[in-house]
Amino acid sequence: MNQKKTDAKPNPLEEKILALESELELAQNQANEAKASSLRALADLENYRRRLSGEQTKWSDQAVTQFLRKALPSFLELSLGASHSSDETMQQVVEKFFETMRAQGLNHITPKAGEVINPDFHEVLMVEEGTAGTVVHCLEIGWEYNGQVIQPAKVSGAQS
């Protein structure tokens, strides 16, 4: 009467293996989710840093632009005074100051006669005869900082 049992109980060792495999799969899923979450957090942090850096540059440029708008009239008066002075030292100081500002991104806008008038860079104060829509002559130079116009050049424009 060697009869096989059809209702045999599962081997306790096999049960333990199945339970451990189930736990391992669950732990691997949790680890994968944690890794994905960490990678998303790192990407978010990098995006935040990049955005903050861009905003800081923008704020800095805005602060410099505001300063230049206020300081340029005084600088122009100083420059005009130095140009009418026989004191070479004063002229050298003004030139050195301008070189320093140019190195920081400040440039002058000096339109030439015949140049097409661009309202972003030129402010027409007088109208004269000539080729319509062009500069006749520059009355006062303009200024730009890192490509942003601080003060447009004042020009006389031509009208046909």
CATH number of residue 116's parent domain: 2.30.22.10
Q: Which two tokens stand for residue 7?
A: 């209702």
Q: Is residue 10 part of a domain?
A: no
Number of domains in the chain: 1
Q: Is residue 137 part of a domain?
A: yes
Q: Is residue 148 part of a domain?
A: yes
**Dihedrals φ, ψ of 71, to 5°?**
-85, -25
Q: Is residue 72 part of a domain?
A: no
Boundaries of domain holding 120: 106-160
Instruction: Report the C-alpha gap between 81 and 23 in whole angstroms.
Output: 85
Q: Is residue 86 part of a domain?
A: no
Closest CA to 111 of 60, 152, 53, 66: 152
Spell out the per-residue pLDDT of the chain, length 160, in tens.
455 555 567 788 999 999 999 999 999 999 999 999 999 999 999 999 999 999 999 999 899 999 999 988 888 888 888 888 888 888 899 899 889 989 989 999 999 999 999 999 999 999 998 889 999 999 999 999 988 999 999 999 998 6
The pLDDT assigned to 127 comes to 94
Q: Is residue 125 part of a domain?
A: yes
Instruction: Report the C-alpha gap between 15 and 18 in whole angstroms.
Output: 5
The pLDDT assigned to 4 comes to 53
Q: Is residue 154 part of a domain?
A: yes
Q: Is residue 152 part of a domain?
A: yes
pTM (two decimals): 0.62
Helices (H), the chain: 12-83, 88-103
